[in-house]
Chains A and B, each alone.
Chain A
Amino acid sequence: MSFLKNKFWTRLQNFFTFRPEKAGEARYVILRRNLAVTMILVTFVPLFLMAFINYVEYRATLHKEILSPMQSLVGKAKHSLELFIAERVATVSFVSKAYSFEELADPQRLSQIFSVMKTEFQGFVDLGIINEKGIQINYVGPYQLLGKDYSEQPWFHEVRVKGSYVSDVFLGYRKFPHMVVAVESSVPGGKSWIVRATIDTDRLNDVILSMSLDPESDAFLINREGILQTPSKFYGNVLDRLSFPIPSPTYQPSVVSLRDDQGRELFMSYAFLREPNLILVMVKPKVRVLKAWTTLKSEMLVLFVGGTLIVLFVVIKITGIFVNRIKEADEKREAAFRELQHHHKLSSLGRLAAGVAHEINNPMAIINEKAGLILDLLPQMPQSPYRDRLETLTRDILKSVDRCRNITHRLLGFARRMDVQIEVLDLNEVVREVLTFLEKEALYRNIDVRLQLAENLPRIASDRGQLQQVFLNILNNAFEAVPDGGIVSITSWEVDADKVAVSIQDNGHGMDEETMKHIFEPFFTTKKSYGTGLGLPITYGIVKKLGGDIQVQSHVGEGTTFTVYLPKKAPHAE
């Protein structure tokens, strides 16, 4: 278990650690990608889950809310219809049982009964009495049906068998839709008769209209063969055949979805009536039913897409900022590291230089003494041109020893970590002091030294001796760069509240970019024969130690400008 956990952690860490040795920019791209992927996963998984759960829940709820009203509406209408028919059957049955055959056969009496029926119960069209042989022996109603023979009709036989009968809707002899209710009555051991009443199916239609449907919905009755029993808005008139199949029988109101011959997607709610043997059907287009659902769905989609876009935007922005910060930090660290390396290089080179200086010092001392001895001994030689020549040569040797002494001195100066001695000083004064060393050369080579020193330059806290070396080194280089009669300008100014600067500009041969890159590296020199390559590295080291900075601008053939920035306050002790 812990093994797995460890493995997981390692993976996770690997995901976020990038190999520094992997080349440059690519690793930041990888880091950014990994971060973005993780953030997107972390934010999107819950978002997706929420959206999905919401979707499912809402769909379930909405279906229930939409479909159950349809079911209950159909259920109510079904009860109303059943009740309506049952009432009519009961009325006819009451008439057949409450009156004797003689009373019913009396046209006047029957007309009286019928008028009561019509006023008390709506929908009766006519009333007739039929004897055992199927002949209508009495009739009240708008048609001439007295004496009509029904013995061949199927319903007549059904009444004889079942005792009562409710017909489907039909046109019959009268050519308008109606249905028939018939009840048989008899006296024990005697004759039997049938009371038959016709019901106007408009009454059934009234019940359906009372469902108050919206214009796109439809409700109607069909019989078990699929023949319309009441007119339909979309599927034809009474006694037309319905274009879609009859649903499976159930007395409980239920809902199915289907597509009709006009291509409309529908919900069909239906229920079978017990008596009469009909089916109540109600259809509602899905578009209408699901309108709320569709609206909700599109709102959810807009929200989801909007949320997604915002999250993506934020993630991309944030990772961008984040990775840029890291990149900047890395670059800073790298720069610091390079600086440190440069320092290390300088100091290790310094130690090497010191060692070399010491080693060379001893043979130099020997050469010095030997040459000195030659000079001591020469006067004892007889006077000759050779003696003079020897003397000159020996003095040349001693001069070279002197030069070596200077070089080792400078090497040691570079190596020594001199203690900084801070004093408050006038930078202009330091520049003027240094210039006194170079006055003779300037005069001799006719170099125009232009001083543009700020008059009220603030005094700064720094090391006089080291600053002298800095300016001497830079001025030496400038003097070497300019031809006889050249110009060297020295300018000083106050940079800001914390810094002052001195720039030394010459109109000499300048440097190319390649040379500029290396000028602060130890032992790099362009002075083929006599340069130590230590002047500018020492200068650089001192200025850094004093808390300042050096900038160089140079163009081949135009000249070079060194600008030394120095802090007004003393640097912190190392």
Chain B
Amino acid sequence: MEKKCRVLLVDDEEEFVRTLAERLELRGLMTRVALDGIEAMDLLDQSDVDVVVLDVRMPGMSGLDVLRQIKSIKPDLPVILLTGHGDTKDGIEGMRLGAFDYLMKPLDIDTLMEKIFEATQTS
């Protein structure tokens, strides 16, 4: 990778998202963290990102709402959804709305890396 891949992580669970960010940085990615949908949209306005990793379950603006907004602004930006076990329906709905893929929490970091790589390759 000649240029560092920029990833925006959106999750209301700060402990989770910051730790995940650190692990991705250790693997050579550039990360930005947003704790809710509004913050995420702000960050998207200010800076360019290559991939968005988005939690489906969030208070206020839900993951699917954020996804819709992202797709309305940047239809080509790949979005990977994070879902709980019971939220496969949301995952499928997300795919219909144009998400790149969905992964279940707790995550396997290697799988996530693979998906991010795939997403940047295709976009």
Instruction: Point out residues on A near B: beta carbons under 8 Å.
Output: 354, 357-358, 361-362, 364-370, 372-373, 376-377, 401, 405, 408-409, 412, 415-416
Instruction: Point out residues on B near A: beta carbons under 8 Å.
Output: 13, 15-16, 19-20, 22-23, 26-27, 57, 84-86, 105-107, 109
A480, chain B: closest CB distance, angstroms: 25
A357 and B107 form a contact (CB under 8 A): no
B86 and A354 form a contact (CB under 8 A): yes
Q: Which of A357, A364, A415, A416 contacts B106 (CB 8 A)?
A: A364
Can you sample 5 A-B contacts with CB below 8 Å? Answer: A357-B84, A365-B106, A365-B107, A376-B27, A377-B26
- A401 / chain B contacts, CB cutoff of 8 Å: 106
Question: Which residue of chain B lies nearest to A409 when distances are taken between CB atoms in the complex?
Answer: B85
B27, chain A: closest CB distance, angstroms: 8
Closest A-B pairs by Cβ, 4 of them:
A368-B106, A369-B19, A365-B105, A365-B106
Q: Which of B15, B86, B107 contacts A358 (CB 8 A)?
A: B86
Q: Which of B22, B26, B27, B85 contacts A361 (CB 8 A)?
A: B85
Q: Which of A367, A376, A408 contacts B85 (CB 8 A)?
A: A408
- A377 / chain B contacts, CB cutoff of 8 Å: 26
A192, chain B: closest CB distance, angstroms: 150
Could you tell me the distance between the alpha carbons of A296 and B119 in the complex, rounded to whole angstroms? Answer: 112
Could you tell me the distance between the alpha carbons of A405 and B109 in the complex, rounded to whole angstroms? Answer: 15
- A408 / chain B contacts, CB cutoff of 8 Å: 85
B19 and A366 form a contact (CB under 8 A): yes
Given A361-B85, A362-B105, A365-B107, A376–B16 Cβ distance below 8 Å?
no
Q: Which of B23, B57, B84, B86 contacts A416 (CB 8 A)?
A: B86
| Chain A interface, >50% SS class | helix
Could you tell me the distance between the alpha carbons of A409 and B87 in the complex, rounded to whole angstroms? Answer: 12
- B109 / chain A contacts, CB cutoff of 8 Å: 369, 372
Could you tell me the distance between the alpha carbons of A405 and B107 in the complex, rounded to whole angstroms? Answer: 11
Given A408-B85, A416-B86, A361–B105 Cβ distance below 8 Å?
yes
A413, chain B: closest CB distance, angstroms: 9
- A412 / chain B contacts, CB cutoff of 8 Å: 85-86
B86 and A357 form a contact (CB under 8 A): yes
Question: Which residue of chain B lies nearest to A377 when distances are taken between CB atoms in the complex?
Answer: B26
Given A357-B85, A361-B85, A362-B16, A372–B23 Cβ distance below 8 Å?
yes
B119, chain A: closest CB distance, angstroms: 20
B19 and A373 form a contact (CB under 8 A): yes
B23 and A366 form a contact (CB under 8 A): no
Could you tell me the distance between the alpha carbons of A264 and B38 in the complex, rounded to whole angstroms? Answer: 124
B105, chain A: closest CB distance, angstroms: 4
Could you tell me the distance between the alpha carbons of A361 and B103 in the complex, rounded to whole angstroms? Answer: 13
Most B Cβ at <10 Å: residue of A354, A369, A412: A369
- A358 / chain B contacts, CB cutoff of 8 Å: 57, 84-86
Could you tell me the distance between the alpha carbons of A205 and B23 in the complex, rounded to whole angstroms? Answer: 150
- B15 / chain A contacts, CB cutoff of 8 Å: 366, 369-370
B86 and A415 form a contact (CB under 8 A): yes
A370, chain B: closest CB distance, angstroms: 5
B84 and A369 form a contact (CB under 8 A): no
- A376 / chain B contacts, CB cutoff of 8 Å: 23, 26-27
